[in-house]
Structure 1
Amino acid sequence: MDPILKAALGQPARTFTAVRGELPDGAAPLRLLNGGQAVIAGETYLGRDDRFGAIDKISPISDGVKSEATTASLVLRTATAEAIEVLANPKTQGAPITITQGAIDTDTGGVFGVELLFRGEINYAVLVADEETRAVRVELITEEARALEPNDERRLSHSFHQSVWPGELGLVHVTGVTQKDFWRIRKPSVSYSGGGGRPGGGHVDGGMAHLF
């Protein structure tokens, strides 16, 4: 925990959770607080924004294990239909989002300390509505989740490298690119069966073993 925040919790203070987001296409930035108002690093966070509404819920944030990645979600009680369109726009996918916690001096309103809880990006947004209310659930992911996405089409070769970064010659002399590189997964093991010292399920032809 941030030492300043830890010290603040020993005094009369009110804790808060803040959400900060940068949205594309010139959309107004997202600066929301779970109640009240605070100025954090020179930026004003509101408990209720005229456009994006208010924070309804923030899911528990837990670290991913093994092949899982850290994820989070938040539910916003949006104030306008325009806000729903912005959050659900495909261009919003990948917009950076941070979630922090801190404490506010109940006497002066000043912020004591701020600690980062989550840094990631918007994955997608879903409208949650019933007869009386409407809200938007925003699913968040981290960079490590992107690293776990399938990438079968990518190749560690000069030609593929050029397709992404034209003119960059870092792989022009790289060899052995046909060898498969296992990333963040365990290399599959090959088991053999049968007698005579030969692999089961295969045959040797011209000094070369063929498995099938």
Structure 2
Amino acid sequence: MDASSVAARKQPVSWIVQLLEWTTADFTIRLSTGGFIPWGEKVFLARDLTYGALGELPTFEDGIDSQTTRANITIIPPDPTALAAVADRAHQRTLIQVWDATLDGDTGYLVGEPDLLFRGIVDFPRLVISETWEVVLECGTEESLLNEPNEDRRLSNPFHQSVWPGETGLAYVTGLGRKVYWRANTPAGTGGGGYSSGGGGGNSANQY
């Protein structure tokens, strides 16, 4: 944490607030738990007139063992139009960040640099309909993608072009019919060939 921010928190009058920035292809929302807060060229508001206000932020904690950090962030839209915009599934895997910040109690301005609490991506939205309309953004860290299985990834021309459209480097390559395992051990007894991330039962003479 920034040294001046730490020093300010030891003073009798200081406020600790959180800042949220959510960036999508359609909009960028900057919200705070402490009202109007300028930070450089950015301005964080208690309520965005179009998309609403922060409802709840979780306690951000590190993941345990093979788990990565997860966070549920609640946004309260002002109307059905905003609800549909915020909950649009097109925003999946968009960047969302939360900072912890210190405000001077007399001026209301930031002291030092905010401390990054969470940097992640939106996994999926969940609607809560009661007295208010709420959108709970279930978020994970970018590192969580490393834990996803890659059964759909193959050393083949169709998959290669799905990543790099028009790049025909594998179009006329032979010997790609073998099963290739990405970030997984080759199952025992499957015979030779293919890349292996370790431990598999392939014939090393046929390895690339």
> Please, what TM-score do these two structures have when normalized by structure 2?
0.76
**Are residues 1:13 and 2:10 paired?**
no
Give the equivalent residue in structure 1 for 2:128. 128
* Cα distance change, pair 145–177 in 1 and its aligned pair in 2 (3 A): farther
Give the equivalent residue in structure 2 for 1:78. 77
The whole-number CA distance in structure 1 between the counterparts of 2:89 and 2:178 is 35
Give 3-state SS (helix, strand or coil) of 2:97's partner. Answer: strand
Superposition deviation, residue 189 in structure 1: 8.6
> C-alpha deviations, 1:58-80, integer Å up to 9, x for none?
11222223331211111122212
The whole-number CA distance in structure 1 between the counterparts of 2:119 and 2:40 is 17
Alignment of 1:127-206 (within 5 A): 127-130=127-130, 132-157=131-156, 160-165=159-164, 166-167=166-167, 169=169, 178=178, 180-181=180-181, 183=183, 187=185
Fraction of identical pairs, as percent = 30
* Residues 22 and 96 in structure 1, CA contact (< 8 A), matched pair in contact too: yes
Alignment of 1:107-126 (within 5 A): 107-112=106-111, 113-126=113-126
The whole-number CA distance in structure 1 between the counterparts of 2:181 and 2:66 is 17
Give unmatched runs, 5+ long, in structure 2: 189-208
Q: Which amino acid aligns with 1:105?
A: D
Give the equivalent residue in structure 1 for 2:58. 59
Select the structure of larger CA radius of gyration. 1
The whole-number CA distance in structure 2 between the counterparts of 1:144 and 1:177 is 31
Give unmatched runs, 5+ long, in structure 1: 191-212
Superposition deviation, residue 42 in structure 1: 1.8
* Cα distance change, pair 103–174 in 1 and its aligned pair in 2 (3 A): farther
Q: Which amino acid aligns with 1:68?
A: Q
Give 3-state SS (helix, strand or coil) of 1:31's partner. Answer: strand
* Residues 35 and 48 in structure 1, CA contact (< 8 A), matched pair in contact too: no
Give the equivalent residue in structure 2 for 1:23. 24
Superposition deviation, residue 30 in structure 1: 0.6
Give 3-state SS (helix, strand or coil) of 1:111's partner. Answer: coil
Give 3-state SS (helix, strand or coil) of 1:161's partner. Answer: helix
Superposition deviation, residue 6 in structure 1: 1.4
* Residues 157 and 174 in structure 1, CA contact (< 8 A), matched pair in contact too: no
